[in-house]
Structure 1
């Protein structure tokens, strides 16, 4: 498990093989600032966790929905950037199913459903530390003609 920092290493799922997401995650200051941890980084599959802090809660003392979305979106980004081509979100939807609070740990697990040509469809389930589902996210990806910087 690796913290998403500007200088941290990322697990690759393959011994001694560089992750295509390394450059992307090394520059992802938002995920680092939120304390996200990349637990799995494989083509079409990613797991990212985040401990909810007090400053991540809204006026009702529950985790801000935008931060749950951000966690899911980070796992989505890792799972859909499978090679050197930059892949971005074409759209995403989220359904919030359970509220959480400061001190809890959320985990987003992203899975590729289909990748065809330049587009893809990915599902992300966000759970709490008990395994209860907090949110379901569906992301639609578009692969660009640009490549990831080294």
Structure 2
């Protein structure tokens, strides 16, 4: 099995159990070792009192992309810490894309950057996540 095959198999196994991402309407667009791309359309139910996408939904999209990126090598990894900076508003009906990229994975720790963009390429948010490898495998468990 190639590294790309392993990443896709891990993503498929995780996706089958990830009801939160599925119910929010997220789509797993692409996955590769240390990388994942997810998208989601902002619905009217996801808009806050200012008429823009609630930050919690943007965070959830970025967090899901982070989760898939840090679980591509069949070692269970969980989020240890994450932070997000919102740079532009998103509106109802807009399709957002979160692209997560592994920056470093020394030992049991990992560092990932996620860029959330709008359909026109506008950067909506930047997210940085720290992962921690825990006991267990994705495919063998």
Q: TM-score, normalised by structure 2?
A: 0.92
Matched, 1:75 2:42: no
Q: TM-score, normalised by structure 1?
A: 0.86
Q: Taking structure 1 as reference, are residues 16 and 44 closer, same or farther at Cα in structure 2, changes over 3 Å only?
A: closer
| Equivalent in the alignment of 2:113 | 123
| Equivalent in the alignment of 1:41 | 31
Q: Which has the higher strand share?
A: 1
Matched, 1:104 2:112: no
- Aligned equivalents of 1:97 and 1:77: distance in 2? 22
Q: Which has the higher helix share?
A: 2
**Structure 1: gaps of 5 or more residues:** 1-12
**Greater length-normalized contact order (CA 8 Å, ≥ 6 residues apart):** 2
**Structure 2: gaps of 5 or more residues:** none
Q: Kindly report the root-mean-square deviation, in angstroms, between the aligned alpha carbons of the 2 structures.
A: 1.9
Query: Offset at 1:149?
Result: 5.1
Within 5 Å, give how 1:1-150 maps onto structure 2: 14=4, 18-148=8-138
Which aligned segments of 4 or more residues in structure 1 are displaced greater than 4 angstroms? Answer: 13-18
- Aligned equivalents of 1:137 and 1:94: distance in 2? 4
1:55-85 superposed Cα distances (whole Å, 9 cap, x missing partner):
0111222101000000000100000002222
